[in-house]
Structures are given as structure tokens and as C-alpha cells.
Amino acid sequence: MEEFDGTIGIDLGTTYSCVAVFRSDAVEVIPNDQGNRTTPSCVAFRNGDVLVGDSAKQLASRGVTGVVYDAKRMIGRKFGEKTIHDDVKRWPFAVEKGENDGVLIRVEHNGETLRLEPEQISARVLAYLKLCAEQFIGKRVKKAVITVPAYFNDAQRERTRAAARIAGLEVLRIVNEPTAAALCYGLGLGSGAGAQGADCPVNVLVFDFGGGTFDVSIIAIDNGSFAVRSTAGDTHLGGQDVDTELLRYVLNDLKNRHGVDATSQPRLLAKLLARCEQAKRVLSHATTEEIVMDGILTGGEEYALSLSRAKLEELCANIFARCMTVVQKAMKDAAVTPDEIDDVILVGGSSRIPALRVMLQEMFKGKRLCSSVHPDEAVAIGAAVQASIISTSAEQQSEKTANVVLMDVVPLSIGVEVDDGKFDVIIRRNTTIPYCATKEYSTVEDNQEEVEVQVFEGERPLTRHNHKLGAFILDGISRAKKGDPTITVTFSVDADGILTITASEELANVKKTLIVENTERLSDEAVQKMIEVAQNFSAKDAVAVSIMDATQRLTNGFTELETALAAMPLPLSKKLQRHVAFLTHGKQWLEQQLPNYTETHAVDVKTTKIMKLVQKALKTLQRESRKGTENNNESDSGSDDDDDTNENDGDALGGSGGSTPRDSSAGRKRPRSNPRNDEGLAK
């Protein structure tokens, strides 16, 4: 078969997937071998055969074993994550812990037990979509653009790439789903005119509520430029959560009215779940639906339950409220009001739920929601457009796509640890990608020959409150006084959202690179929670940083004073003995009192006052050193007028200095003056 010189676009969904191609100046959504424009993301291992799509979905609805789905909810995750443990309770297939806490799916096939990784299941779906595209186009397909949720982390993106490679596809680009949907809308590739021909910039909100993930993005569209202004979401919230709530209601009804416990019957559970999904779909256009199941009651009687749309809305009120919270967060991050949103684009099958549409209309003051894009196809269409753009030369570009530029963003700030655990941001959240930023650092010890570069993501000023992405050692740096070597750290985020970190020291000509593509990257709703927690703890964080800075300053000052005192000849004069006492009290205050302060202003005032006394004491020691031992002894009987650390200066180390210590008697250990790793970075 001749090779297709173009590229297909694939929306690899949790519950349904879709594939499209842009050719002859138009997008075509490719049907599967059943004639359907979307394909269930299901794989069935049955009687030696592997079935994908509609046939596998039909088996699942009948409660047949060996059907696997929800691979997107597992891909790139750890087995120990709470979300996996929650989902295991409703999955009719077996999931177990793999190597490095990975997730493995156990199935029986051809008389043997297979343990498959989630990307192997996704690969089966992708291979099927690839085959459908080849049959439709009539040529062999090798390249694709694949979409993922905006909040997918590096591990999930890389595992999606791996699934494509297994399926025989080269991934030219990973595109965020809301961005792809906006591209479909903006170019007028739905049933409406779109925004491309608008006379002024347009702000659109993409509400992408799919089967297993939820994203909201604010995107500015201006003459072919698609700039993501903000993104928010939850990679473990979707229409399946609505199905689960309905299932829970049905299970309780079965047990309470008929004494039937279906939770211990996997086949029955699968049938009920499929019926609940069907009821959800019906209730999007009808006000009531009756769930009827034959032969599941004692004696083979029929089970029937009438379900209203109002009941669904009651059961799922918390889910819908979570969706609206994410919408508000996205608008806040983009610094826009509901009045400044020109259009609301609904994407994903579950965006059809009437209650969600009513809530959105209320939030946007009765504004009509966009109906020009197909909720199930918009993402695949946008992916196909982007596929055409990046695989076609400028001379051959369609007029529709010639001026299109996509600009996505990073969901969380990323940076390195410096100065005893502080988080130094290199690329801020919602920065447009691709993006590259560089900062310079140095060593914290004399003759230090290596540094550890620790990389984090999050929104709080201390790394212990953020999430570690990875670390590496830059060794072989020039031996020099601390602070002299220049260590250059560069962060680069590519168009797929993959982060690469490079650290180098020019004088010694050493360089190390780390590509963050492991499962250390944050998973699911932790991203959103970190942002919210950062806002709640901003005041406490400011105090913690202030205390850390004060500790560094005072430790350096006390060390310098201690060194100067050690150089003085013995016996020490009374004046110098008072300096020793001041130093002793200062260290005690630093360790026991400073950590208890609760106001940044009080910390700054007290630190400044003590540092002035330290500097005055150092000047006194310099004068005493010049006088020599004889004059130093003679000063015992002299005046203490020049001594700036007299008895009254003890007041500088007492009390709270205007703040309210958390516990003035607590002998808490102060933060260390050096980084936790003595060979870390100094800012």
C-alpha cells in the first residue's frame, strides 16, 4: 500500500475516541468499520481474539469478562495512587501492582495470563483507529497528532507517545484537548462561521467534560493566533463519575428493596454500569428513564427503577459544583470576567447534560452557549487541522490554516531548590509554550566540586510544599571560593509540554541534561489542589521565607563574629567577654525564638536590629585587634562607651519584637543555614 504523505488527528478519549484527516481544504471525520464516527476505547480478549471498539463495548454491556477500558485513567499513574484504588472497586477486570509501583492489567488470553501496561491497551485502540484511517484514505498511515487533557503531566504524555509507537504511529505533536477544540471553533470547521473572520480578538472558554477527564481553557483568538490564557482542570473527573453516582443509587435500591448485593457479582455490576451510562444519555434529552433488567432478582424476576432527570441532578450536584469551581479558577487565572468571554464552547459527550448547561448560562448571565462544534468530534477535528499545519510546507498550506499559530501554556510553575529549601521559579504557571528560560546560580561551599540540581513544580515558596520532578548532579565544576563559580540552569518546555533541564559551568566546561519524563511528575487533581493550597497558605509561607532569610543573615553574621573573637589573644577583656555573651545569647535566640515568629515585619525589624549590633561588635573587635594585647588588657579599667554590645543590648534578643511567637518556650530546631544537601545551589 502506498504511504500517505499527510498526518491524521486522533482524539484518544477515556470512553470514546475519534480520528479525522484534513485534506482537499476540508476536515473529514473517519468512520470505523461499523460506520460510527466515534469508537469506544474498549479492548476485549475473548476466545483467542482481540476485539476493539463497538464489538468490545457490546461485550462489556453484557458483563462478559476480559473486557478492558479506562486505560486513559491508568496511563502514567502509580498503583498506589488513591484514584486507582477508587476505580478498582468498579472495574470488572483485574489490576495489580507492577514494577516501580506501576499499574498492570491482568487478562486471560489464549490459555495464558497476560499482564499488560495501560499504554498497551491504548495502543490497541490507536492501532484500530490507524487501520480505519488507512481503509478510508486508501494509503498506509504513519504519522499522527494526538490530543491529551491539558492537565496531563509529563509521564502521561510520554506514555501516550509510547502507546502510539506500539501502534506503529509517529507522533508529530501532542496537543491539549481544549486547544484543539478551540482550533475547530476558530476556523469555522463546525456548523458555524467561527472566529477566524472576526474583526476583533475573541475570548472563548472551552468547557471540555469528557468521559474521564475535565478541562477548562480560556483562549484568545485573533486573526489566526490561538493563545491559551489559562487552563484548569481535573484529570480524574468526567462523565464516568456521573455513571458511578447513578450506579451507586441503583445498587442501594437493589439492596434495600430486594436484598440483592450486586457488588460481589462482577458480571451483574458491568451490566448495571452500562445501563446507567445509557440512562445518563437518555436523561440529557428526556426528563425520565426507566432502568429495567431481566432476571436479576430472586426467582428470576424483572428489576425496574424509574429515574428522573431531577434525581440525576441531585445525585451529581457535587460533581457539577466541582466543574463550576474549575471554570471560575480558569477565569481568575486569565484575569477575565464572564462579560469578557465572547463564546463558551462545549466539548465532550457529558457536556450535553442539561444541568451543566443551565449552570454555565447562569454564570455567563444568560449567554447562549456555542453549538457550532460537535462535542464528540471537535477535538479530533482540531487535531487534524494541527496535523495538516505541521506536516505541510508553507507553499502547500490551505488558505484556512496558512496563518494559524497555536500557543499553549504550562499548568504549574517550575523551578529549582536554592538557599535551604526555597523554591526559585524559572518558568511561571500559564507561561506560553514552547518556552526557554535561563538563570544563574553558584556554590554554597568553598572548593565545592559538584552541585545537585533539584527540580520542582508548584506554587508555594518552599520546595517541601511543592512536588519534586527529579534531580541530577553536575560534577567537575571549578574549585573556587563559594559564590565564585557561575552555574547556568536552563529550562526548556517544548510544544508538547515536555520539560528539559540543562545545567552547566563554563569555566570547567561541564554540562548535564535531564528530560523530565518519569512518573515523578504530579498526577491528576493534585495540580489544582496545589494552586488552591498555595493561595490559602500565602501568609504563612511569607513568614517561613522571612524566617529562612533571617536565619541565613544572622548565621553568617554570628559566624563572622565568632571567627573574629577566636582570633583575639587570651585572656579576653571584660568588654570582649560581653561580646562572647552576646554571641551565645544570639545563637540561642536564633534557635529557640526566631522560628516562633508569625509576622514578617517583626522578623525583619528584629533581624535588622541584631545585625546592626553584630556590625558594631565587629568594628569594636577590629579596633581592639589593632591596639594589641597590652592595650586590650588596659581596657579592663577603661570606659565602655565605645562598646555597642553592653548589657542593655540584651533587650534586642528578648521578647517578641512586636510579633506573637507561636510558642515562646519551645526549643524548636531552627532551619539550617546551609541547604539540606550541602552541595546544592546558591542563588
Catalogue the active-site residues: 11, 72, 177, 208
* Cis? peptide before 595, omega within 30° of 0: no
Task: Give pairs for 319-324: CB < 8 Å, separation 24+.
Answer: 319/237, 319/241, 319/242, 319/245, 320/353, 320/355, 320/356, 320/359, 322/234, 322/237, 323/207, 323/209, 323/214, 323/237, 323/356, 323/359, 324/359, 324/360, 324/363
Task: Mark 3-17 as b/e (b = at least 16 C-beta within 10 Å).
Answer: ebebbbbbbbbbbbb
Nearest in space to 214 (alpha carbons), one of 245, 178, 179, 248: 178
Rg (C-alpha) for the chain, rounded Å, is: 32
Residues 6+ apart with CB under 8 A from 646: 578, 640
DSSP state of 242: H
Interatomic CA distance for residues 383 and 30, integer angstroms: 13
- 465 is written with which cell numbers? 510544599
| CA 305 from centre of chain | 41
Region of 208 please: left (phi>0), alpha (psi -120 to 50) or beta: beta
Query: Rounded CA gap, 117 and 140, in Å?
Result: 27
State the Cα–Cα distance between residues 534 and 5, nearest whole angstrom. 48
Spatial neighbors of 290 by CB under 8 A, at least 6 apart, are 304, 305, 306, 307
HEC assignment per residue over 148-202: ECCCCCHHHHHHHHHHHHHCCCEEEEEEEHHHHHHHHHHCCCCCCCCCCCCCCCE
- Residue count of the chain: 683
Cell numbers at 598, concatenated: 508569625
- How far, in Å, CA of 60 to CA of 274, rounded? 8
User: Residue 369 CA to chain centroid, in angstroms?
Assistant: 28
Residue 113 belongs to what H/E stretch?
strand 112-116
Q: How many other C-beta atoms can be found within 10 angstroms of the C-beta atom of residue 193?
A: 10
Asked whether the beta carbons of 187 and 386 are under 8 A apart, the reply is: no
Q: Tell me which DSSP letter residue 592 carries.
A: H
Q: Give the bridge partners for 456, in sequence order.
A: 415, 468
Closest CA to 411 of 156, 210, 233: 233
CA torsion, points 130, 135, 140, 144, in degrees to nearest 10? -30
- Per DSSP, what are the bridge partners of residue 215? 208, 233
Pick the closest to residue 453 from 523, 530, 513 (CA basis): 513
Do the strands 16-23 and 8-11 form a parallel or antiparallel pair, or are they unpaired?
Answer: antiparallel
Collapsing DSSP to helix, strand or coil, 453 comes out as strand
